[in-house]
Chains A and B, each alone.
Chain A
Amino acid sequence: MLELRSVCKHFGGVAATDGVSLALPAGEAHALIGPNGAGKTTLLAQICGSLTPDSGDIFFEGRKITRDPQHRRVAAGLARSYQITSIFRRANVLDNLALAVQARSGTSFRFWRPVSAEKRLFEEARALAAEIGLGARLEVAAAALSHGEQRALEVGLALATRPKLLLLDEPMAGMGPEDSQRMVELIARLRGGLTLLLVEHDMDAVFRLADRISVLVNGRLIATDAPQRIKENAEVRKAYLGEEAIA
Chain B
Amino acid sequence: MKTVAAVIVLLVAYPLAMSAVDNLFYVSFASRVLIYAIAATSLNLALGYGGMISFGHAAFVGTGAYVASILFAEGVTSAWLEWPAAIAVSALAAAAIGAVSLRTRGVYFIMITLAFAQMMFYLVTSMKAYGGDEGLSLPGRAELGLGLDAGNEVTFYYVVLGLLLALLYALHRLARARFGRVVTAIRENEVRAEAIGFPVYRTKLACFVIAGAAGGLAGALLASHGKYVNPNVLHWIQSGTLMIMVIIGGVGHLWGGLIGAAALLTLEHLIAEYPVDWLARLAPNYQQHAGLGVGLVLLLIVLFAPQGIAGLFTRRARAP
Contacts and interface: CB of A to CB of B under 8 A. Distances in A.
Q: Do A and B bind each other?
A: yes
Nearest to B320: A143
A107 B182 CA distance: 11
A74 B178 contact: no
A99 interface: yes
Interface in A162-182: none
A116 B185 contact: no
A41 interface: no
A141 B185 contact: no
Given A90-B319, A111-B173, A79 B181 contact: no
A113 to B, nearest CB: 6
Contacts of A24: none
A115 B195 contact: no
Nearest to B201: A69
A26 interface: no
A150 B120 CA distance: 47
B196 A115 contact: no
Interface string A110-152: 1111111000000000000000000000000101100000000
Contact of B199 (A71, A82, A87, A113): A71
A103 interface: yes
A110 B194 CA distance: 18
In the complex, which range does the number of interface residues on chain B fall in? 20 to 34
A108 B179 contact: yes
Nearest to B183: A108
B181 A102 contact: yes
Contacts of A158: 195-196
Given A143-B319, A143-B320, A88 B194 contact: no
Contacts of B312: none
B189 A80 contact: no
B195 A80 contact: yes
A114 B200 contact: no
A160 B319 CA distance: 24
Contact of B194 (A71, A99, A109, A116): A71
A112 B177 contact: yes
Contacts, number: 104
Contact of B196 (A90, A103, A114): A103
A161 B197 contact: yes
Contacts of B181: 99, 102, 108, 115
Contacts of B199: 69, 71, 108
Interface string A63-107: 000000111001100011010001111110000000110111001
Contacts of B174: 111-112
A37 B195 CA distance: 23
Given A74-B197, A99-B185, A108-B182, A115 B177 contact: yes
B84 to A, nearest CB: 18
Contacts of A161: 196-197
Given A74-B195, A103-B197, A103-B198, A88 B177 contact: no
A116 B180 CA distance: 12
Interface string B168-195: 0010011011111110010011011011
A100 to B, nearest CB: 4
A110 B179 contact: yes
Nearest to A110: B178
Contacts of B206: 109
A86 B191 contact: yes
A230 interface: no
9 contacts: A48-B195, A71-B200, A80-B195, A88-B185, A89-B188, A108-B203, A110-B179, A115-B178, A115-B181
Given A89-B188, A91-B188, A102-B181, 20 more contacts: A71-B199, A71-B200, A80-B195, A86-B189, A86-B191, A99-B181, A103-B182, A104-B196, A104-B197, A107-B178, A108-B178, A108-B179, A108-B199, A110-B179, A111-B170, A111-B180, A113-B178, A114-B177, A115-B178, A143-B319
